[in-house]
Structure 1
Amino acid sequence: MDLNTSNIKKIKGLILFAAAVCLVVMNFEVVLEGGILGLEIIKPFAVGAAIAFVLNIPMSAVEKRLLAGIKNQRGEKLKRPLSILLALIAVVLVVVLVVMNVIPQITKTMLDLGNKIPKFLVNVQGYLEEMFVSQPQLLAVLNEFDPAKIDWKSIVNGTIGFMKSGLSSVLTSTVSVASGIINGVVNIFISLIFSIYILAQKEKLGNQTKRLLHAYLPPKTYGSILKIASLMSRNFGNFITGQCTEAVILGAMFVIAMSIFGFPYAVMVGVLIAFTALIPIVGAFIGCFIGAFLIMVDDPMKAVWFLVLFVVLQQLEGNLIYPHVVGNSVGLPSIWVLAAVTVGGSLMGVGGMLIFIPIISTVYSLVREDVNKKNSLKQKEEKGKK
């Protein structure tokens, strides 16, 4: 059989590929270590790119709305740096305001819990005694447990002694911990600087990437990559905006409702639910559980009413407010959102939950478009045969 130039090139490529696979298998440990080292090297830049993507949302809003009136040449040059600065200030202000509101509340709550837990245990014991008064065996067990006789001071002293005994081992690891902290701070600084560079030159970087792909890829592949990248970028942006909007609305509703009905820890629980609501589906329930526990220590009946309030507000927000304010931000049916959260959480934790929804949404949109296209062609063929 005659071999033309194209077939010879394909055979050479297969031989090189097989040789590369053999080398990787034979030196798997070395390749794995190199891969881990490479990931560590690019990690700050990947984090920086993620930060830039998130900051691009408020930055674009500032640039297109607040600074849209700037038309002169000098103002155009200052528009991008000013919008980046305002976006960073807005994010920092949000974090500072949340910390200033939550930290004092958490400190006060911890002190209150320390004072109320003994009393709470006594109340629980009395409640159980009333409930199981007809069960003498259970009542005898409960009577042996007297929370008032617990020596809390001895428990605290024992804890302090345990901490002192482990102090020597802590000191031996101080250097490694300090170096890890310094390395983390340096990586965060590099990521932040890299994100600012990306934001400052995002149009130029986007154009360079397109030219690079256009030069080395076939036209069809190039068009497909641009389409997928555009769809994924839109889905990620819509998802982040939608989740943040939903979290703010839900948190504000809880603060207002809890304040009206006289629930304790209204601001702290509202902020906590707003933050945890950023985690799709399960996030708000985490905040609900923590809030119910804090309120239960103060007043068990109020904790029950808090759960009722949570169900009511969740239904109100999910069925009435969210569809109008946020809508289907990523265009993904609820069952696939649940699947994305489950798979992403299993593979990558909370970060996976946040990442997998836009990814699955992009895949869902592409598959839906392809299915609709093929079904349309088949329907035309069937009509033609008739």
Structure 2
Amino acid sequence: MEFNRQNTRKVLGIVAFGVLLYWGLQNLSSLSDFFRFLVGLAAPFLIGACIAFILNVPLRLIERWVLRPNPKSKKPQLWKEKLRRPASIVLTLLAVIGLLAIAMFLIVPELGNSLAMLKNSIPGFIKQAEQWITAISVRMPEIAGWLTKLELDWNQIGQTVLGFVQNGAGNLLNSTISVAASIFSGVFTFFLGFVFSIYLLMQKEKLARQCKKLLYAFFPSTVADRTISILTLSNRTFSSFLTGQCTEAVILGMLFFAVMSLFRFPYALMISVLVAVTALIPIFGAFIGCAVGAFVILIINPMQAFWFVVMFIILQQIEGNLIYPRVVGNSVGLPSLWVLVAVTVGGSTMGVVGMLIFIPLCSVLYTLLRETVGRRLAQRRISPEKWNGEQTPEEE
């Protein structure tokens, strides 16, 4: 190998990478602490970017109808152009806050009433438990005799309970302080992220132009073009996924409301809204709504709670196998099978966040892989009959 300037730089770069890799493997704890520190610093900006991305989906729809320029007007109305983005952002925030307020207004009062009914039913439950214990004692006298002969050191039990309460009070105080500090830190981080998201939405076109200028300034044109193409595909896929997920949640909520109203289940509107909200978590989120809904109905009528669970299982099968893969899968361009795989893998690795991220991420990877495979097959001049099953190698 000729040792010119370019090759020398490559060798030095490989050596430097090897040294850094060796140091990182020897100091994994320090490296993890450093990355955790960086993530903590960047948390408000990451949260702001996520908020801006989510709000950008309804913002684009609203912006098409707010203060649109008159195509028949010959003079450009600059005041409309200046007010169009701020007015659209305000309307988007009002729409999101309004939807959340309506959902909470429908769900929280009914849950409060259900908990109040549960509190009132506790004395009756205790009496039933006492009658049940008495009946068992009559039917099985050996158990009653064993309880009578059971010797308990009540002083020791009292001292143990007192020590547990004293230690628990101190731990509870420390836990309360740490939880309060964490809540304050989380609220402050979210507030900074929210402010940052507003700035991103106000100047998103300018930021996009600046990022493109940086790419073309420091990378070859082919690399910059490919990077912009992948980012555009990712933006389109994630936006379509959010739209499809919200559409699927609305469809599922309306389906639950129609069936529950038809069979006269109690709290049909509240439970339907709860199922629609929790259905924003892909595939498995509606089970949370099912658990809360079954608990609420159980307090009123246990038999109806059983039939509600049966109804939920049937509707969940329809939604999981027909509605969700077609609505969300079509919106992101991902086949139904890979939607289920993405949800399963994402949920097992990153929980709820993984479910939300892995579907559009797998869609982007699926599209890139499909383009690469198609291009390589075209370069190698492979006949379509070979993968369509119309011609086998033995027949050639």
Shift of 1:203: 0.3
Q: Paired residue for 1:232?
A: 234
Q: Paired residue for 1:83?
A: 88
Q: Paired residue for 2:185?
A: 183
Shift of 1:227: 1.4
Aligned-partner residue type, residue 64 of structure 1: R
- Residue 102 (structure 1) aligned with residue 104 (structure 2): no
User: Quick one: percent identity of the two aligned structures?
Assistant: 45
* Distance (Å, rounded) in 1 between the aligned partners of 2:126 and 2:209: 65
Deviations 1:364-383 (A, max 9, x none): 11111211222233335899
Shift of 1:85: 0.8
* Distance (Å, rounded) in 2 between the aligned partners of 1:172 and 1:204: 47
Q: Paired residue for 2:156?
A: none
> Alignment partner for residue 197 of structure 1, among 192, 196, 199?
199
- Residue 93 (structure 1) aligned with residue 95 (structure 2): no
**SS where residue 211 of structure 2 aligns?**
helix
Contact in 2 for aligned 1:52/1:199 (Cα 8 Å): yes
Q: Paired residue for 1:30?
A: 30
Shift of 1:249: 2.1
Shift of 1:330: 1.0
* Distance (Å, rounded) in 1 between the aligned partners of 2:175 and 2:282: 37
Shift in alpha-carbon separation, 1:117–1:66, aligned structure 2, 3 A:
farther
Contact in 2 for aligned 1:288/1:310 (Cα 8 Å): yes
* Distance (Å, rounded) in 2 between the aligned partners of 1:9 and 1:63: 50
* Distance (Å, rounded) in 1 between the aligned partners of 2:361 and 2:384: 35
- Residue 275 (structure 1) aligned with residue 277 (structure 2): yes
Contact in 1 for aligned 2:329/2:335 (Cα 8 Å): no
Query: 80-89 or 168-177, which moves further after superposition?
Result: 168-177
Aligned-partner residue type, residue 373 of structure 1: R
Aligned-partner residue type, residue 63 of structure 1: E
Query: 9-18 or 238-247, which moves further after superposition?
Result: 9-18
Contact in 2 for aligned 1:120/1:297 (Cα 8 Å): no
Q: Paired residue for 2:67?
A: 67
* Distance (Å, rounded) in 1 between the aligned partners of 2:306 and 2:11: 72
Shift in alpha-carbon separation, 1:238–1:18, aligned structure 2, 3 A:
same
* Alignment of structure 1 residues 6-25 onto 2, 5 Å: 6-25=6-25
**SS where residue 262 of structure 1 aligns?**
coil
**SS where residue 65 of structure 2 aligns?**
helix
Shift in alpha-carbon separation, 1:23–1:201, aligned structure 2, 3 A:
same
* Distance (Å, rounded) in 2 between the aligned partners of 1:320 and 1:9: 56
TM-score (norm 1): 0.81
- Residue 54 (structure 1) aligned with residue 62 (structure 2): no
Shift of 1:174: 4.3
* Distance (Å, rounded) in 1 between the aligned partners of 2:66 and 2:126: 55
Q: Paired residue for 1:44?
A: 44
* Distance (Å, rounded) in 2 between the aligned partners of 1:123 and 1:269: 29
Aligned-partner residue type, residue 296 of structure 1: L
Shift in alpha-carbon separation, 1:109–1:14, aligned structure 2, 3 A:
same
Contact in 2 for aligned 1:330/1:361 (Cα 8 Å): yes
Shift in alpha-carbon separation, 1:314–1:293, aligned structure 2, 3 A:
same
* Alignment of structure 1 residues 102-141 onto 2, 5 Å: 102-116=107-121
Q: Paired residue for 1:147?
A: none
- Residue 261 (structure 1) aligned with residue 266 (structure 2): no
* Distance (Å, rounded) in 1 between the aligned partners of 2:9 and 2:97: 56
- In the alignment of these two chains, the number of paired residues is 359
Contact in 2 for aligned 1:344/1:356 (Cα 8 Å): yes
TM-score (norm 2): 0.79
Shift in alpha-carbon separation, 1:323–1:16, aligned structure 2, 3 A:
closer
Shift of 1:27: 4.1
* Distance (Å, rounded) in 2 between the aligned partners of 1:365 and 1:223: 17
Shift in alpha-carbon separation, 1:11–1:81, aligned structure 2, 3 A:
same
* Distance (Å, rounded) in 2 between the aligned partners of 1:178 and 1:371: 53
Shift in alpha-carbon separation, 1:296–1:8, aligned structure 2, 3 A:
same
Deviations 1:189-214 (A, max 9, x none): 10000000000000000111111111
* Distance (Å, rounded) in 1 between the aligned partners of 2:110 and 2:264: 16
* Distance (Å, rounded) in 2 between the aligned partners of 1:108 and 1:37: 45
Contact in 2 for aligned 1:277/1:284 (Cα 8 Å): yes
Deviations 1:346-386 (A, max 9, x none): 22110111011100111011111211222233335899xx9
Contact in 1 for aligned 2:117/2:299 (Cα 8 Å): no
Shift in alpha-carbon separation, 1:260–1:121, aligned structure 2, 3 A:
farther
Query: 29-38 or 354-363, which moves further after superposition?
Result: 29-38
Shift of 1:318: 6.2
Q: Unpaired segments of 5 or more residues in structure 2? A: 71-75, 145-160, 386-395
Shift of 1:172: 3.9
Contact in 1 for aligned 2:111/2:296 (Cα 8 Å): no
Q: Paired residue for 2:224?
A: 222
Query: 324-333 or 88-97, which moves further after superposition?
Result: 324-333
Shift in alpha-carbon separation, 1:372–1:118, aligned structure 2, 3 A:
farther
Deviations 1:137-182 (A, max 9, x none): 9x859x99xxxxxxxxxxxxxx9xx989844433344443333222
Shift of 1:269: 1.3
Aligned-partner residue type, residue 96 of structure 2: V
Contact in 1 for aligned 2:290/2:309 (Cα 8 Å): yes
**SS where residue 329 of structure 1 aligns?**
helix
Aligned-partner residue type, residue 20 of structure 1: L
Q: Paired residue for 1:364?
A: 366
* Distance (Å, rounded) in 2 between the aligned partners of 1:330 and 1:8: 45
Shift of 1:186: 1.1
